[in-house]
Amino acid sequence: MDRRVANDPTPGLCELCLVAAQDDRRMCYSERMSDHAADQLVRMDRDGAVVTVTMNRPDARNALSPALIDALGAAIDEIEDDPSLRAMILAGEGPCFCAGMDLKGVLEDAEAMSGMLHGLSRVMRRIRRLTIPTIARVQKAAVGGGCGLMVVTDFAITHPDSKVGYPEVSLGVCPAVVAPWLIRKVGPGRARTMLLEGGTVSGEEGHRIGLATHLVEADRLDEQARELAENLTKGGPIATAATKRWLNELDGSLEDAPFETAAAISARVISGDEAQQRLQRIFGTKAGS
């Protein structure tokens, strides 16, 4: 199983980059991919009844570009069409799981930014609604939209010194698009605190407050994800699918309107003067240039 999409190798201005620039530090460096690897924005690897979906933009810290979001949607298409699959692992190539939204090229284009946010919203809903259990394998960083992917899965595995969270408000950006999933994961009170304070927390703290379901040392992430996935394949497929659908119905994950509204709010705020001016100050130039 292999999904190839158009080459999109250019590192963008992701949410993690913005935080690093604001704090005058750098995080998550990676080596440049080969041309062959770069043209596969999402890689799908199957082992028995378990499929691993790997975001493959390590140069850009797996930041969520429109092309990467589309490629994730195409991967979900394949999973939905294969009834023999019993569990999915969502991973990120290179040092980082996902550094958030890739703002380069869309930040000053309101229509493109809106399209990307609505696209991410749809992908998160489709991951949530898969009939098979889903696991996020989170190394180094899951920030903003990346943390959204982390909390929308059924399980999330990370390590104690990873960085997870939502820095949007300090950047003048509204995290509305990810807020519904965070509320479902950690509850409205804790979600309110996290989103209004902004910033990130360690993987250890993220596990304590419920962002991650499992905490292991970094060198055991693959092993733990595989063990969990194999265990989940033992459940009856009909019972598992029915349980997931009922849980999704109970917590409102099958509704579309609130998620579309959330994406629209995020798009409106990031295209406004406050966000644009704040992001330009962080970089000392136009944020989309």
d(CA 169, CA 118): 19
Residue 170: predicted pLDDT: 85
Share of the chain above pLDDT 70, in %: 84
Q: Domain 15-219+235-283 adopts which CATH fold?
A: 2-enoyl-CoA Hydratase; Chain A, domain 1 (3.90.226)
The C-alpha atoms of residue 229 and residue 134 are separated, in whole angstroms, by 8
Predicted confidence at residue 13, as pLDDT, reads: 55
- The total number of residues shown for the chain amounts to 289
DSSP string, 108-135: T-HHHHHHHHHHHHHHHHHHHH-SS-EE
pLDDT tens per residue across span 192-219: 999 999 999 999 999 999 999 999 999 9
Higher-scoring residue by pLDDT: 271, 137 = 137
- When comparing pLDDT for 286 and 118, which is higher? 118
In whole angstroms, how far apart are CA 112 and each of 2, 169, 241, 251? 28, 21, 35, 30
Give the predicted TM-score (pTM) of the model: 0.86
Query: In the chain, what are the domain boundaries?
Result: 15-219+235-283
Query: Mean pLDDT throughout 235-263?
Result: 97
Instruction: Say whether pLDDT at 10 is over 70.
Output: no
User: Which percentage of the chain shows pLDDT scores above 90?
Assistant: 74
Q: Which residue has the tokens 């994406």?
A: 263
> Mind listing the pLDDT tens digit for each residue in 50-104?
999 999 999 999 999 999 999 999 999 999 999 999 999 999 999 999 999 987 7
Cβ neighbours of residue 151 closer than 8 Å, sequence gap 6 or more: 178, 181, 182, 184, 185, 186, 211
Mean pLDDT of 12-32: 44
CB contact at 8 A, 43 and 56: yes
